[in-house]
Amino acid sequence: MAKIDVFEMERLQSLYWHEVEYDLSESGVAPLSLDELLRDDHARRALLDTGLGYPLSEGSERTRAFVAEWYDGAGVENVTITNGGSEANLVALWSLLEPGDRLAFMVPNYLQGWGLGRHFGDATDTFALVRGRDGWSLDVDALERAIGPGTKAVMVCNPNNPTGYVLTADEMDAIVRAAEHVGAWIVADEIYRGAEVDTDRTTPTFWGRSDRVIVTSGLSKAFGLPGLRVGWAVASQETIAELWIRHDYTTLTPGMLSDSLAQIAMEPARREELLARTRGIIRTNLPRLEGWIATKPALTYVRPRAGAIAYVDYDLPIGSRELIDRIRTQQSVLLVPGEMFGLGNGFRVGFGFDIEHTIKGLDRAALSFP
């Protein structure tokens, strides 16, 4: 078989999330039901009348227009709809990287890009978000070291999974400058944008900051609609055409019903309602989680700035895979080990669902770190 790294976090989740009593590995918020999304009879009727043929390959014009509205200066020609944000990342990196190319990759991160960089290109070089007394920040020296003449693309996740960190304007500028210095592309996975914890100001996007930018995102996290499997990429028209060539080899089109439902979700007024719902869930649940963490002397954490995920460090003499394995097999609680994000002794916990259930699960997990 051709070699590719196992995407360990996704494998862990797909193997176990449905088997454990407490799945705290999920990184989104409690999803909307179809009934909640289709709230009037007209929308319900329209959905029931939908012919189940193929939709447009790149997504319907109206869905793309609504997505484009979320990115200043973008038009329908700058958007393509994919099956999840993960497909957008796949076709973006497939389009950019070929043997001989290197990917500079921010860690910690959702490691899809890390594996794809090694698969499509020659290597993935990492640069870090580092944790200091004031929280997370970008190590700009490491960024500059990770980017060299062979670097074809720089990939970031902003807001970040798993830390919930949001890059400052200066850090975004540093990334753009370092990428432009060697003519590299920026692939910005912004799937948590819109799920800010302490502000209603949406996280700034990389779109428009350089000519060579591909933004990837979708409805799975900040919009609470992962089951639709709707993602997108935003890029120049020529770049979108390149992504489309790959999309013809992957899934051809989004699902017809998903495209129709994405249209409803991304209509600008509804989009803002959905994001406000997500922020409401996060703001209600986070204080409960913080209160719980504060009672555990072995745990430290930095408050996330966005997303329904918290990254928690622990001070215990055991590696994160082993600890999380033990918690899963002995307490039937699924957390994600720090090592699966490029970190060390820590774990990610999702807090976007029923918070009382989450706290009960954490109490159980704490039997392994009293």
Ligand X SMILES: Cc1ncc(COP(=O)(O)O)c(C=O)c1O
Positions touching ligand X (CB under 6 A) are 27, 84-86, 110, 157, 161, 189, 191, 218, 220, 226, 231
CB of 255 closer than 8 Å to CB of 201: no
Residue partners of 65: CB distance under 8 A and separation at least 6: 75, 76
Q: How far is the CB of 186 from ligand X (least distance, A)?
A: 15
Rounded CA-CA distance 250/244 in Å is 10
The token duo for 4 is 């590719």
Q: How far is the CB of 125 from ligand X (least distance, A)?
A: 19
Q: Cα separations (Å) of 164 from 103, 253, 366?
A: 22, 31, 23
Between 230 and 292, CB nearer to ligand X: 230
Q: How far is the CB of 27 from ligand X (least distance, A)?
A: 5
What is the number of the residue whose Cβ is closest to ligand X?
A: 84
Between 71 and 110, CB nearer to ligand X: 110
Q: How far is the CB of 219 from ligand X (least distance, A)?
A: 7
Q: How far is the CB of 306 from ligand X (least distance, A)?
A: 11
Between 215 and 312, CB nearer to ligand X: 215
Between 191 and 292, CB nearer to ligand X: 191
Residue partners of 360: CB distance under 8 A and separation at least 6: 22
Between 212 and 221, CB nearer to ligand X: 221
The token duo for 213 is 């930018």
Between 121 and 231, CB nearer to ligand X: 231
Q: How far is the CB of 2 from ligand X (least distance, A)?
A: 22
Distance of CA 358 to the CA centre of its chain: 21
Between 163 and 285, CB nearer to ligand X: 163
Q: How far is the CB of 310 from ligand X (least distance, A)?
A: 14
Q: How far is the CB of 251 from ligand X (least distance, A)?
A: 12
Q: How far is the CB of 110 from ligand X (least distance, A)?
A: 4
Q: Strands 102-107 and 151-157: what pairing?
A: parallel
Q: How far is the CB of 296 from ligand X (least distance, A)?
A: 25
Between 86 and 95, CB nearer to ligand X: 86
Diameter of the chain measured on Cα atoms? 59
Q: Strands 102-107 and 299-301: what pairing?
A: unpaired
CA-CA-CA-CA torsion sign (293, 299, 300, 305) = negative
Burial state string for 58-97 with b = 16 or more CB within 10 A and e = fewer than 16: bbbeebbbbbbebbeebebebbbbbbbbbbbbbbbbbbbb
Between 189 and 313, CB nearer to ligand X: 189
Between 153 and 331, CB nearer to ligand X: 153
